[in-house]
A = this chain, B = another copy of it.
Amino acid sequence: MSDKIISPFFGQHNHAHCTQEALEQAEVSCAGKGLKLTALRKEVLTIVWQTHKPVGAYDVLEELRTRGHKPSPPTAYRALDFLVHAKLIHRLASLNAYIGCPAPDEGHQGQFLICTQCKSVAEIEDLRIIKAIDATAASTGFNANRQSIEITGLCGACESQT
């Protein structure tokens, strides 16, 4: 099978465990790359990981406030930018929002299934898509360096509730 689901696919799971694992991976990953996962950045990462739904920058700000900070927008955007560059989270352009990346060290690009009903997002890695894009790039001389693939629809659970 050439596609791989790399986040819990709209299913039940132990989310506390899921989040904790992401945080531990983040520590390791940053240490390995010489990046500094400061207290603030870690807190923002935790906030993003609270759900598998995308979180907006101003949601992060709000949440930081409930945790005793008094942040203004650049605080959130800077932390989010750092996390994106560290490949710990992804930005979903179609939603202006962020979501935790469950596999920061696999060098994958973002491919997302976004449920319009329950708002959950699953990240996938489909080698056929990557290959197809590479092939098109090669055939046209286009030198691709980033792909943003965002597919919206209804997840199985929401579909069956109709």
Q: Which A residues have a C-beta under 8 Å from some C-beta of B?
A: 1-3, 5, 9-10, 93-94, 113, 115, 122, 124, 126, 128-129, 131-133, 135-137, 139-156, 159
Copies in the complex: 2
Q: Contacts of A131 on B, CB cut-off 8 Å?
A: 128
Distance A143 CA – B124 CA, assembled complex (angstroms): 15
Q: Contacts of A140 on B, CB cut-off 8 Å?
A: 5, 9, 113, 122, 124, 156
Distance A149 CA – B153 CA, assembled complex (angstroms): 14
Distance A89 CA – B17 CA, assembled complex (angstroms): 44
Q: Contacts of A93 on B, CB cut-off 8 Å?
A: 93-94, 148, 150
Q: A4 — nearest CB in chain B belongs to which residue?
A: B136
Please state if B159 and A153 are interface contacts (CB–CB under 8 Å): no
Known: A128-B132, A142-B113, A154-B143. Is A148-B94 also a contact (CB below 8 A)?
Answer: yes
Known: A94-B148, A136-B3, A149-B149. Is A142-B154 also a contact (CB below 8 A)?
Answer: yes
A114 CB, min distance to chain B CBs, angstroms: 9
Please state if B136 and A147 are interface contacts (CB–CB under 8 Å): no
